[in-house]
Amino acid sequence: MQAEAAEDPQTQLRRALLQGPVRFLRDRQRSNAGQFILSPIKASKQRLETAMKALEAQNVYDPDPLIYKTALSLVRSASLNCYIFPASEGDTIETKMSLLQGQLGIGDACTFRLIEKNVVSLLPLQKEELRKDAANALTDLIRSYRRLDDILNRAYGGDVFAAEEAVNSLQYTMASTASFQNIIERCLDMYSSRSQNAVVG
């Protein structure tokens, strides 16, 4: 029990979903399971909000490059290993292993994709439109993180134009993360309603 408590939400979720989404949701109370699945997304949103506070405190007339470095570190942590970036000394062992896994092409290290894949697999076949919405939200989310990473990295290097784009790009990524969470919640709600109707019937 102590080892599980020491794990972050992302690691716990990846390990739990290996047993399969249906069994996972049945083994837990559904409301608790849904919150557990959403917890890495919520943690990402909190990190992005912290990054935004750092950027908003930046002096535009005398910018501090370290602010961009701090924001970049938070964004990379929030990305849940969904794109490859250079590992840093402050990264957790799980993050470094996930990055190595992605570089070697062994499995899929992206937790956002793991969530989308498992949750969408619970949907009935006729909900094709919702499946497409989830896939599109995931694609947009990962693309927004990659673009934001590039902008913050250039801003840290002294690129004035990148620095001007940083806040807007971060706002877009925050909106994309919220949209992705909304889609996942819709999928979970549909599975929950479907399961309850099956029990009643």
Give the residue carrying structure tokens 């970036």. Answer: 85
Query: What type of residue sits at position 93?
Result: I
In the chain, how many domains are there?
1
Give me the domain span that covers residue 159: 2-200
Per-residue pLDDT of the chain (201 residues; tens, 9 = 90+): 344 445 566 666 666 665 566 565 655 545 566 788 899 999 999 999 999 999 999 887 788 999 999 999 999 999 998 987 765 555 555 555 555 555 555 556 789 998 999 889 888 888 899 999 999 999 999 999 999 999 999 999 999 999 999 999 999 999 999 999 999 999 888 766 655 554 444
Residue 77: other Cβ atoms inside 10 A: 21
Composition of the chain by helix, strand, coil, percent to 5? 75, 0, 25
pLDDT of res. 201:
44
